[in-house]
Structure 1
């Protein structure tokens, strides 16, 4: 059961689901003032996953306005590009979901992984890693062992992490940026864009398994976990780190698996829906790298989205606390209809997705119904579930080629 629990956490509420640095591309830097990081992680995503395939790759640090140091990888050109570094390549930012990191875009072979496919198709690829993940467990003054390090939700990722990375890429390239998000990566983009944060630096956005509403989530495990996270879970974990490899999480998930409505022996399907196109070896790679820590407060916030049926900022639980933080008794709602109607969006969702349910996507599309003609592209894939979009062996032909065509139309 212990091994099952360890695998299970990978997708629980996913949405609720270097040996050396590349000297030709420079050193690791902070975005705000180019300070050198004296103790970077000894092995990064570039060395372990990208350079070995013959691609150039740069490890960069970007600092948020509240002092978190985020790991970002840059793949500036394709594997077979021998023409040297070209500055006019269009930048693309890839943003992962919750409980995973930037490795999620590099799980398959170069011919099947979106990050490397984009590089081979002429794009300057940037991979984000949000606060709390393996290579972003750093802050200018707070140690990750302290609860203060984990006092955030996806509100802060949308308002601080995403704008910091976007601004850094824009300043480095002097070009507007294409965006690809999966799962939580779509939620933070929609929330940020609805408040017009950094959207002036963006060229377009492709959203895979888009998440904004979770009222029709069908996974019994996800629903049960959401109820627990809104309820007594903070008593168990406190508002600090949610470490999927810790004993407290192990006990929590064993309790969920004891519920007769939950099938913990078909792990991926019980959380994401029945994925059609996963390769067993890819899942093995996934399990070796994941799961990643996040904040308990972040999962509580996601659970509130399930409970309340609206996309709103974190609810502090009482009228007085909400007034203290927001000036109003209820958390402000993210109004997705505020997203500029001329901003190009591509949404791709699956008929078997138990997390990004088609009914909830329909609600999101209703928010976007005033989008300008030709600026909203929608793809529905009947057989796809949540993990197929990032791990599916058919994703290149079914999804990624359409993303590239969408980017080309919106150059």
Structure 2
């Protein structure tokens, strides 16, 4: 199963040529590939009772993806195939997986996990645009947008982005680099195709939650802003933390991160690895790629040789789990 960022749909895994796209590489190696979409993106805007034109549809954060969406996906694929799942997550897809595994939801249906550009912790990210955006999302933006859709291609968000890009030290001339860091290995035509399709909608509340993670340096559930509302939702004055030490120590994990990644900063990955310090040594495979930034892991022309072949080998070595 393949999963990526909250403002991208599953097509991101197929933007490169078939010889360079992880989904096609896995399929060619005999794996049954399922590509998942995060709610709110173009292929995940249906609901049995709610309409995406209404604010109620967008009243969610990644907590809901952890509690409901990813467990439902894991269960669905397992029921369809009768086999445990090799999971691949990039960016937001790693956050969802780590939090879900820590809650032990459907963990018995997961065979192994490959986590690319993990973002469980975000307090050291170096992207100037990301930093000013995070400050905005825990401030006035909550009253500006409420709980509704955050549409990157809408007028309101375009105005916000223009204001953020005007901040000192923020250069949005190359928007992808401004957000992800200096990617080493992207094909210009692939980037052009990416920008035609992405980014896509998510909930404003979800971005507020991510901004809280940046601000607080902790991995916790959504903070409702005051003790009364937190008690109403959680029974305590502060939002509970996701304890990554609860992830089963024998779950095979392949973790790959880059030295130029402005979102998944090396220091934050080190914090994540410290949370996994009691993981079985033979079950945790860590790959550091000095020249890679955030987008290189899903669109890099060298990713097949540098990362994907290692993922295939990792999955095959854990096929009997």
For the superposition of Structure 1 and Structure 2, which TM-score range results when normalised by the shorter chain? over 0.9
CA shift, 1:245, in A, is 1.2
1:193 match? 101
CA distance in 2, matches of 1:253, 1:287: 15
- In the alignment, the residues of structure 1 paired with residue 61 and residue 44 of structure 2 have an alpha-carbon distance, to the nearest angstrom, of 15
2:269 matched to 1:269?
A: no
Q: Distance in 1 between the 2:134 and 2:28 partners? A: 40
Aligned structure 1 segments of 4 or more residues deviating by more than 2 angstroms: none
Partner of 2:112, secondary structure, is strand
- The 5 Å alignment of 1:13-24 reads none
Bigger relative CO (Cα 8 Å, ≥ 6 apart): 2
Distance 1:214 1:165 in 2: 26
- What SS class does the counterpart of residue 282 from structure 2 fall into? coil
2:146 match: 238
Show CA shifts across 1:45-96 (max 9, x none): xxxxxxxxxxxxxxxxxxxxxxxxxxxxxxxxxxxxxxxxxxxxxxxx0011
Aligned equivalents of 2:89, 2:154: Cα separation in 1:
28
Q: How does 1:274-285 map to 2 (within 5 A)?
A: 274-285=182-193
Q: How do 1:201-212 and structure 2 match up within 5 A?
A: 201-212=109-120
Offset of 1:267 from its aligned partner?
2.0
Q: SS of the residue aligned with 1:379? A: strand
Retained in 2: the 8 A contact 1:337–1:367? yes
Q: CA deviation at 1:106?
A: 0.3
Query: Would you say 1:117 and 2:25 are equivalent positions?
Result: yes
Q: Deviations over 1:331-358 (max 9, x none)?
A: 0000001100000000000000000001
Does residue 394 of structure 1 match 2:287? no
Structure with more helix by fraction: 2
Matched, 1:259 2:259: no
1:384 aligns with 2:278: no
Q: Structure 2 matches for 1:7-18, cutoff 5 A?
A: none
1:169 paired residue among 77, 94, 100:
77
In 1, Cα distance between the equivalents of 2:28 and 2:177? 32
Distance 2:105 2:151 in 1: 30
| Contact 1:151–1:239 (CA under 8 A) maintained in structure 2 | yes
Question: Are the equivalent residues in 2 in contact too, given 1:236–1:248 (CA < 8 A)?
Answer: no
Q: For each residue in 1:144-177, what CA deviation from the matched residue of structure 2 results, as whole angstroms up to 9, or x when unmatched?
A: 1110000000000111110111101001111100
Unaligned runs of 5+ in 2: none
Displacement after TM superposition at 1:373 (Å): 2.4
Report the structure number with the largest CA radius of gyration: 1
Gaps of 5+ in 1: 1-92
Q: Is the contact made by 1:209 and 1:350 (CA closer than 8 Å) also made in structure 2? A: yes
CA deviation after TM superposition for structure 1 residue 211, in Å: 1.0
Secondary structure of the residue aligned to 1:204 is strand
Secondary structure of the residue that 1:136 maps to in structure 2?
A: coil
Alignment of 1:218-233 (within 5 A): 218-233=126-141
Alignment of 1:11-410 (within 5 A): 93-410=1-318
**In structure 1, what is the Cα distance between the partners aligned to 2:22 and 2:103?**
28
Q: For the residues of structure 2 that align with 1:176 and 1:102, how far apart are their CA atoms?
A: 21
CA RMSD of aligned residues (A): 0.7
Number of residue-to-residue matches in the alignment: 319
